[in-house]
Amino acid sequence: MATVTFDKATRIYPGSTKPAVDALDIAIEDGEFLVLVGPSGCGKSTSLRMLAGLEDVNGGAIRIGDRDVTHLPPKDRDIAMVFQNYALYPHMTVADNMGFALKIAGVNKAEIRQKVEEAAKILDLTEYLDRKPKALSGGQRQRVAMGRAIVREPQVFLMDEPLSNLDAKLRVSTRTQIASLQRRLGITTVYVTHDQVEAMTMGDRVAVLKDGLLQQVDTPRNMYDRPANLFVAGFIGSPAMNLVEVPIADGGVKFGNSVVPVQRDAISATTDKTVTVGVRPEHFDVAGPESDLGLAVTVNVVEELGADAYVYGTAKLGGDDSKDLVVRVSGRDVPEKGSTLHVVPRAGETHVFSTSTGERLSD
Ligand SMILES: Nc1ncnc2c1ncn2[C@@H]1O[C@H](COP(=O)(O)OP(=O)(O)O)[C@@H](O)[C@H]1O
Ligand SMILES: [Mg+2]
């Protein structure tokens, strides 16, 4: 087992002037499950491939434990990688697929068999060891790919969107299996996904990337409760956090007809006249049409989920300005389409961001 350190690691592809990954700085703990997440093209795969040794590092360094691996070939890094397309050898059995890397490394047959059988047991693949990949389901193939990594007993697992070829239901069950397997084996893991739900449910910590730049590294809880900037605020959470630009008022911010108190420091630090306030859908107090508090929201669509319902509506801001909002309400008390609600952010549940820089201003 080992720590993994990205030390200002930078990748600039030939012919490009802008780094695909720009001075990435993350210290991953021994045994940690770290998820790299962000929209397509943000540099997730490039980061992982730099760690694997499949991509040159043009600045900074990468370390596994105390070893500087920045310029080591992949085979000397003691890592195992699981890709999006598992690339199993079609003509080999499951057992041979799983044991292939050991065979190449010159491990003797009996030992290979023993390691493959152990991994197959962990992955529930024992009865499929003699089959060819084409006779397996997508989920089973995915587990063979995992098995291939496990038998090597590497210091670090690298996984690049390993669930993206599975259907939605299997993806959910497999993500639980991978997370619990990783915890059982205790092998440091760097996992890449574009899916923030996957990131939040699987990771000990989550690192959010945008345009090759690290935005925040934090536990899922902190990432949700204290997003560092507007990008993370909008990216983490589903439905997304509501982000509304509002005027600064005496003692708080003006949210429609109400002044919502926010931390004094958050608004005294800025010279702007407005800030952007973030409110998660579950953090509004909701009143009926007779109220004149907060913002008036016209209900466009209601998504009923049983216990809760999400109201998708349009709020009138000053002048001709309007803003779409999502508000969670009780499933037992669902407003009608076309009706009006008044919403006020619950005290202490707002996030204040600088509209100009996007940085978080509140604690
Ligand atoms: N081999 C390559 N040559 C040039 N540019 C590349 C190459 N691979 C990726 N890129 C570019 O680098 C950026 C990051 O890509 P990538 O790491 O694959 O993103 P992600 O995995 O987050 O979708 C993108 O702009 C992509 O177009
Ligand atoms: Mg990718």
Q: Which pLDDT band, with edges at 50, 70 and 90, does 357 fall under?
A: very high
- Three-state SS across 253-316? EEECCEEEECCHHHHHCCCCCEEEEEECHHHEEEECCCCCCCEEEEEEEEEECCCEEEEEEEEE
For the Cβ of 19 lying below 6 angstroms from any atom of ligand 1, the answer is no
Q: Which residue has the higher pLDDT, 47 or 316?
A: 47
Contacts with 29 (C-beta within 8 Å, 6 or more apart), sequence order: 3, 188, 204
Residue bearing the CA closest to ligand 1, atom 7: 13
pTM of the model: 0.93
Q: Which pLDDT band, with edges at 50, 70 and 90, does 318 fall under?
A: confident
Residue 1 has pLDDT above 70, yes or no: no
Residue bearing the CA closest to ligand 1, atom 21: 45
For residue 165, the model assigns a pLDDT of 82
Q: Which pLDDT band, with edges at 50, 70 and 90, does 66 fall under?
A: very high
Mean pLDDT of the chain: 94
Q: Which atom of ligand 1 is nearest to the CA of 161?
A: 21
For the Cβ of 299 lying below 6 angstroms from any atom of ligand 1, the answer is no
For the Cβ of 24 lying below 6 angstroms from any atom of ligand 1, the answer is no
Ligand 2 is an ion; its neighbours by CB within 5 Å are 45
Residue 49 has pLDDT above 70, yes or no: yes
